[in-house]
Structure 1
Amino acid sequence: MRNDCNDGAVITEHALLPVRPGQEGAFEAAFREASAIISAMPGFGGLSLSRSIEEGSKYLLLVEWDRLEDHTEGFRGSAEYQQWKKLLHHFYEPFPTVEHYSKVVTAT
């Protein structure tokens, strides 16, 4: 086990995505397309999208960024973000809250 403070380490973006029931298949297809947009952004380190077992229309998005600003300013301020929004934002009800985290403890 490692105990690490975040001193320039990866930032994790966390979002619970409440997709409109019945739209899950279309959302997943659109997300596959949108993932090519975000993965090309400076500072992007990887992502995972997981579907809830208990609530099938809820998804967990985790995105790793080199710096907080790579997401909040770089990606969100880019022209590419407008395409991301067009592909995905109409699936959400209500609109998700996005938070950012830095690792404190990891175990393998």
Structure 2
Amino acid sequence: MILEVATINIKPGTNAEFEANLQAAQAVISQAKGYLGHQFQHCIEVPSRYVLLIRWASLEDHTEGFRSSNLFVEWRALIGPFFDGPPNVEHFSLKFEN
């Protein structure tokens, strides 16, 4: 299992609209092959920052499957307009989970 960690900074003052669109975006990404679950977290110290944590069955399910699919295009169209610069995305292999 792979954990995608994306730090997303959004344009200041767009939190309500961004969070509303996250609801629709969650329905889109959950259809992707290899998708296992996710969390969206909001930063307390920096109100325009979010962290997206997505569990994938494999790295390729995210980097090759989802990113090259129409689902990615639809997902990005919902939340991409709020981005204040490109997200920082890293992938981790999960060693321990409660």
TM bucket normalised to smaller: over 0.9
When the two structures are superposed, what TM-score results if normalisation uses the length of structure 2? Answer: 0.94
In structure 1, the gaps of 5 or more residues are: 1-9
Q: Give the percent of matched residue pairs that are identical in Structure 1 and Structure 2.
A: 40
Query: Is structure 2 residue 52 aligned with structure 1 residue 84?
Result: no
- Matched residue, 1:23: 14
Which deviations, in whole Å up to 9, do the C-alpha atoms of 1:21-43 show, x marking residues without a partner? 10001000101101001011110
Runs of 4+ in 1 over 3 A off after TM superposition: none
Deviation at 1:95, TM superposition (A): 1.2
| Structure 1 residue aligned with 2:61 | 70
Q: TM-score, normalised by structure 1?
A: 0.86
How big is each residue's C-alpha offset from its partner over 1:59-97, in whole Å with a ceiling of 9 and x where there is no partner? 010000000010011111111111111111111112112
SS of 2:90's equivalent in the other structure is strand
| 3-state SS, counterpart of residue 37 of structure 1 | helix
Q: Match of 2:27, as an amino acid? A: A
Task: Please give the root-mean-square deviation of Cα atoms over the aligned residues, in Å.
Answer: 1.1
Query: Does 2:53 correspond to 1:56?
Result: no
Look up the match of 1:101. Answer: 92
Q: Which has the larger radius of gyration?
A: 1
In the alignment, the residues of structure 2 paired with residue 96 and residue 40 of structure 1 have an alpha-carbon distance, to the nearest angstrom, of 22
Which whole-Å CA distance do the structure 2 matches of 1:98 and 1:11 have between them? 13
